[in-house]
């Protein structure tokens, strides 16, 4: 009989999650349909990272995607969340974003927002994605875009 256990994620995955968890907001770009990014709020619950569509933004579907934060793109997989975690996640979102207007804080804990919640798992970028990121980095350096506000949703 084989006992299946969950192994600890590699250290670089935990570093990635830690960096993203401190961001005020991230932008999600689905890998299958690159287009306008969807703004999302991010929280950490235990060892896992979760994203939820920010109030006023359109939701995204799960699957392969990129998270954009501070000018960098990180390849991830967005997975569905077990319904029993939504109450804990609501509390985590209120703790992190409760300083925003009451309407926005209520919107991020609504049933509609809960339906747009995904667990984030780092993944290895494909060769094509790495080339695209390098081209985007060169273009971005040539444009010199202004820095994002600390909390673009508040």
Q: What is the pLDDT of residues 31-50, one digit of tens each?
A: 777 667 788 888 999 889 99
pTM, two decimals, is 0.73
The fraction of the chain above a pLDDT of 90, given in percent, is: 15
Exposure b/e, 67-85, CB count within 10 A at least 16 = b = bbbeeebbbbebeebeeeb
| pLDDT at position 91 | 92
| pLDDT at position 16 | 59
CB burial class (10 A; 0-12, 13-18, 19+) of residue 112? Answer: exposed
More confident residue, 33 or 53: 53
- The pLDDT of 65-77, averaged and rounded, is 84
pLDDT over threshold 70, residue 9:
no
- The pLDDT of 69-98, averaged and rounded, is 88
Q: Give, in order, the Cα–Cα distances in Å from 138 to each of 26, 126, 130, 135.
A: 21, 19, 13, 5
The fraction of the chain above a pLDDT of 70, given in percent, is: 77
More confident residue, 79 or 34: 79
- The pLDDT of 78-95, averaged and rounded, is 91
């Amino acid at each position: 009989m084989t006992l299946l256990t969950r192994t600890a994620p590699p250290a670089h995955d935990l570093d990635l999650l830690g960096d993203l968890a401190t961001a005020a907001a991230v932008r999600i770009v689905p890998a299958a349909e690159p287009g306008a990014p969807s703004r999302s709020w991010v929280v950490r619950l235990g060892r896992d990272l979760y994203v939820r569509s920010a109030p006023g933004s359109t939701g995204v579907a799960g699957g392969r995607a990129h998270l954009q934060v501070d000018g960098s793109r990180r390849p991830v997989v967005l997975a569905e969340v077990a319904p029993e975690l939504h109450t804990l996640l609501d509390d985590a979102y209120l703790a992190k974003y409760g300083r925003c207007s009451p309407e926005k804080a209520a919107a991020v804990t609504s049933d509609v927002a809960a339906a747009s919640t995904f667990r984030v798992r780092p993944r290895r970028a494909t060769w094509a994605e790495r080339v695209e990121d390098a081209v985007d980095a060169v273009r971005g350096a040539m444009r010199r875009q202004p820095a994002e506000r600390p909390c673009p949703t508040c």
